Structure formats: structure tokens, C-alpha cells
Chains A and B, each alone.
Chain A
């Protein structure tokens, strides 16, 4: 896994206040109890900070409910 991808996983874990090992490419709102609506807001804030405010214009990030979908949106927008 690339350094930036690893950093994104770390950001997601930190936002949800859980250990990094708990977050994998298969993690989602379905299998992580901490990833609720407030947890998702924390993820959005942290990623926006990481990407210097470039996240705000990407509306579809609001509905990203899995690590895979977050990575796909970041890739589609050339952020990773």
C-alpha cells in the first residue's frame, strides 16, 4: 500500500477514535460501529484538512460509506 493510502487509513481510524488495525480496505459503515453519522463528519473534516480544503467541492464524498468508496472518490479527483 502506498504511503498516502496508508495515511488515509490512519486518518479514518483517528477520526473514528479506533486503532488503525481495525480499519481495512473492507471497512464500512456496515461493519464499523464507530462509523456513524458523527464519525463520518469527523472523517470528512480530517480528510479536508489533509487535502488542504480540496474536499469541500466533492459532493459525492458525503455519501461515501466505505473505505473503498472513499479511495475511489479521492482517486477520481486526483487527490491520491
Chain B
């Protein structure tokens, strides 16, 4: 059984945060320098009352309003690292709110690699005959974890949800996949006091910590390897790929990937400037924007690569249906 992406819808919280806002809280920040390296001019920020489940609900409703029948939804997979509760699973709350009859519903706790992992799991559910179609929704509100004076994280991260309708298909259009993990980097991007692990270090907080240099070195090492593995696995060359969509981490990261792989810049999609780094939602949002902008045509071969917190990475090829 084959699998395809039918449609993508995304949703942003209303509040936009500009770099002027950052400067107001942090007069000593060199904003021009920050923008030159991140490429990010503004971000979206969830309100205090608005959670990742709320954003996910809005993006899923857009799919339903565009014609997806709730009776046809066999699974809801929510990729999030900002669940409403430690338990129950946020996907269960989402299933109830969307008015979907009993279906497969669970969360995947992954960040920037999460869309590709979710795509692999969705494809497996359909290929194995457990489901015919469903929603993969990536939603996070990292900004709730970020201290307003954190110069490493605050200029980057943004809140959003992206819902992808995945369905059984006549034509094979998703795969192969390249998925990987290096848990030795678990503490390089972490919210230290956010789970059951009791911490003896009283200075550790429930705020996001990122060692930018470590995460960058991991990315520079692993992403080119993952891209090359995927090319070998699929017997393709860089020239055969019509568009590369990488996790929209920042300008500096994507520029470095382009340089290390010697990719033609026009084949690499970027849309972080006024969206920011929305964690697992960056790839489906970029995919949707690329379609809207006419950058993807039927039959095009697209490579998706997500990477980050974990460390975790995932890449796959999609032949656009």
C-alpha cells in the first residue's frame, strides 16, 4: 500500500514579536548582528492561555474545513514537546475536541526531526493496513520555556502548528527514510527541570537551555551525512533533487549546510525570516509555502531533513503527487 501527503494547513498565534521588542527587553543586544546570523526578523508568540494543543486544534480544523471528513480520520499523531499535561497524552484531548470518533491517537515527543519521524510512523500505519488516512500535526510553544533575556534561544524560537493530511495512495510518493539518534547530546538542548528526574542542582530551572555551538557542530557533522546516506539509499544524486527543505533552524545553519554539501542555493527553500524556528512545524510550513509559491510541481523530487534536540535527525524523499 502506498502513501501520500494530501494537504497541509498551518496556524500561527496572533502575537508577533519583532526584534525591536527584543531590544526593549535587552538594550545591550546587538540586534543587527543577531539578524545577520539568524536571518530572523520576527516570531510568533502564543498567549499565556494558548497551548500547543490549542494551536494544533486550529490547524486541524483548517484541514477539516477544507474537506477532510472527521469520520475518515483513522489516526491523529501529535508531535509536540510542549504538551498540556505530563499525562494524559495531548493527542487524546485533540481527538475529543475535533469530534473524531475513536481513532489511533498518540503524541510523539520529538522536536525538529519530528515531522519526518511522524511521516515515517504515519506511512507505517497505512502501509501495514492499520489505517487508511489521518492527521500528522506538529505543534509547539517553546517560547513558554524561554527566558526573556536568553540571547541564544529567544531570537530564534517561535510558536506554530502545522497539520498534514496523510492518506493511502495509488502511487508511491513517500520514502525512503533516514532516521537517526545520538543521545549523547541530550543535555545540549534541554528544559532541565521538566520531567520526573529530580535534580540535585538547585540552579537548574524549567527554562530552555541550548548550547548553540554544540548543536551547531552536531548539525554540521550529521546533516551532510544524512543527506548523503539518503542519496545512496535512493540511488539519486544532488542534481536529481528538485528542492531541499531543511528544518528552518536559522540562516547561519542553512547557509552552512549549503556550503558543506555544495548545494545550488536556488534549490534550497528558506522561509524563516518572518516565521522563526517553529521546531517540528518548520518543515510542513515550508513545504506548504513552497507549494503556494509554485516552487513545487507534480512529479518533483523533494528532500526533507529535520535535525536537532535529542540529538535526533530524520530525512526522507517525497515525489510530489
Contacts and interface: CB of A to CB of B under 8 A. Distances in A.
B212 interface: yes
A62 B217 contact: yes
A74 interface: no
Nearest to A64: B213
Contacts of A63: 213-214
Interface stretch (B10-18, B115-123, B252-260): B252-260
Interface in A10-26: 17
Interface in B1-58: 33-34, 37
B37 A44 contact: no
Given A56-B220, A57-B221, A37 B213 contact: yes
Given A38-B33, A42-B37, A62 B252 contact: no
A58 B218 CA distance: 9
Given A37-B152, A38-B34, A48-B220, A56 B260 contact: yes
Interface of B: 33-34, 37, 151-152, 211-214, 216-218, 220-221, 224, 252, 256, 259-260
Closest 3 CB pairs of A and B: A56-B220, A62-B213, A56-B221
20 contacts: A37-B151, A38-B37, A38-B212, A40-B212, A40-B213, A41-B216, A41-B252, A44-B216, A48-B220, A48-B256, A49-B259, A55-B217, A56-B221, A59-B217, A59-B221, A61-B213, A62-B211, A62-B213, A62-B216, A63-B214
